[in-house]
Structure 1
Amino acid sequence: MYTAVAEYLTYKLVTGYSAGDKDARSTLDKYDFYIIPIVNPDGFAYTQTTQRLWRKNRQPGPNGVRRRTRASQTYKGEKPSDTPENQGLDKLVRQLRDGAGIKLYIDWHSYGQYILSPFGYKETLYAPELGKWTKAAQIVSDAIRDSSSDLTTFTFGPSGATLYPTTGAAPDHVYSIGRAEFSYTIELRDIGKYGFVLPPELIRPTVEEQWAGQKVLWSLLNEEFFDGEGPA
Structure 2
Amino acid sequence: MVATTATALLAFAVVALALPQQHAFDADLANSPPSYIQETGGIDRYDGHEVWRINWSSLSNTSRSALHNVLETAGDVWKATPEVIDVHLPPRVAAVLPSLIPKDAQATKIVPDLQALVNLSLAHPVPGLPGAYAPQSPLADPPTDFPDGGWNVSTLDTVFHDAFQPLPAIDRFLDALVNEYPETLHTFEFGQSAEGRPLRAFSAHRADGKADAPEVLIISGQHAREWVGPASAIYFLHALLVNLRENPKGTAAKVLREFTVTVVPTLNPDGLVYSREHSRMWRKNRQDVGGLICKGVDLNTNWGYEYKPSRLACSESYSGQHPFEAPETAAMANYIVNGAKDAPRNRMPRAFIDLHSYGQLFMFPYSFSCNVFPPDAENLMEAGMGVAKAIRLIGGPGYQTGQACQSTLRFSGDASDYAYAVGQIRWSYSAELRDTGTYGFMLPPFLIRPTGIDVVAGLSALALFIYDTEIEP
TM normalised by structure 2 equals: 0.45
Please say if 1:113 is aligned against 2:352.
no
8 Å contact 1:114–1:187 — kept in the other structure?
yes
Which is higher, the Rg of structure 1 or of structure 2? 2
2:362 equivalent to 1:135: no
Cα offset for 1:69?
2.1
Letter of the aligned partner of 1:7 in structure 2? I
Give deviations 1:161-186, integer Å, cap 9, x for gaps: 22123211100001111111200011
Structure 1: gaps spanning 5 or more residues: none
> What does residue 217 of structure 1 align with?
462
Deviations 1:157-211 (A, max 9, x none): 1101221232111000011111112000110011111111112222211111221
Q: Which amino acid aligns with 2:276?
A: Q
Which amino acid is 1:173 matched to? Y
Shift of 1:124: 2.6
1:171 has 2:407 as partner? no
Corresponding position of 1:195: 440
1:12 to 239, 249, 270: 239
In the alignment, the residues of structure 1 paired with residue 397 and residue 284 of structure 2 have an alpha-carbon distance, to the nearest angstrom, of 29
Cα 1:71/1:134, change in 2 over 3 Å: same
Q: Partners of 1:99 and 1:78 in 2: how far apart?
A: 32
Which residue matches 1:90? 333
Whole-Å separation in 1 of the counterparts to 2:241 and 2:454: 18
Residue number in structure 2 paired with 1:180 = 425
Cα displacement string for residues 106-131 of structure 1 (whole angstroms, at most 9, x for unaligned residues): 00000001011000001232100000
Q: Quick one: distance in 2 between partners of 1:227 and 1:76? A: 41
Is residue 2:346 matched to residue 1:99?
yes
Change (3 A) 1:178 1:219: same
2:241 counterpart SS class: helix
Task: In structure 2, give the amino acid aligned to 1:12.
Answer: A
Paired with 2:345 and 2:373, the residues of 1 have a C-alpha distance of 25
Higher mean alpha-carbon deviation, 163-172 vs 19-28, is at 19-28
Structure 1 runs of 4+ aligned residues shifted over 6 Å read none
Q: 1:199 to 1:100 in 2, by over 3 A?
A: same
Deviation at 1:63, TM superposition (A): 7.9
Amino acid at match of 1:9: F
Q: Residues 9 and 211 of structure 1 are in contact (CA less than 8 Å); yes or no, is this contact kept in structure 2?
A: yes
3-state SS of 2:312 partner: helix
Alpha carbons 2:387, 2:459 under 8 Å: kept: yes
- Name the counterpart of 1:61: 289
The TM-score, its normalising length taken from structure 1, stands at 0.90
Match of 1:152 among 392, 397, 413: 397
Shifted more, 217-226 versus 48-57: the winner is: 217-226
Task: Give the corresponding residue for 1:44.
Answer: 272
Paired residue type of 1:190? D
Higher mean displacement: 138-147 or 93-102: 93-102
Aligned to 1:161: 406
Residue 22 of structure 1: how far off its partner (Å): 2.2
SS at structure 2 position matched to 1:224 = helix
Cross-structure match for 1:25: 253
Q: Does 1:76 align with 2:304?
A: no
1:65-106 deviation line (CA, Å, top 9, x unaligned): 647922211101110001110110010011159622211100
Unaligned runs of 5+ in 2: 1-227, 296-310
Give the residue type in structure 2 aligned to 1:147. I
Higher strand share: 2
Give RMSD over aligned pairs: 2.1
Q: CA shift at 1:64, angstroms?
A: 6.9
Contact kept, 8 Å, 1:39 with 1:85, in 2: the verdict is: yes
Q: Which has the higher helix share?
A: 1
Confirm or deny: 8 A CA contact 1:43 1:58 kept in the other structure. yes
Give the distance between the partners of 2:452 and 2:366, measured in 1 at CA.
26
Query: SS state of the match for residue 125, structure 1?
Result: coil
For residues 430 and 254 of structure 2, the distance between their equivalents in structure 1, rounded to whole angstroms, comes to 24
| Structure 1 letter corresponding to 2:356 | H
Question: How many pairs were matched up?
Answer: 226
Greater Cα offset, 33-42 or 92-101: 92-101
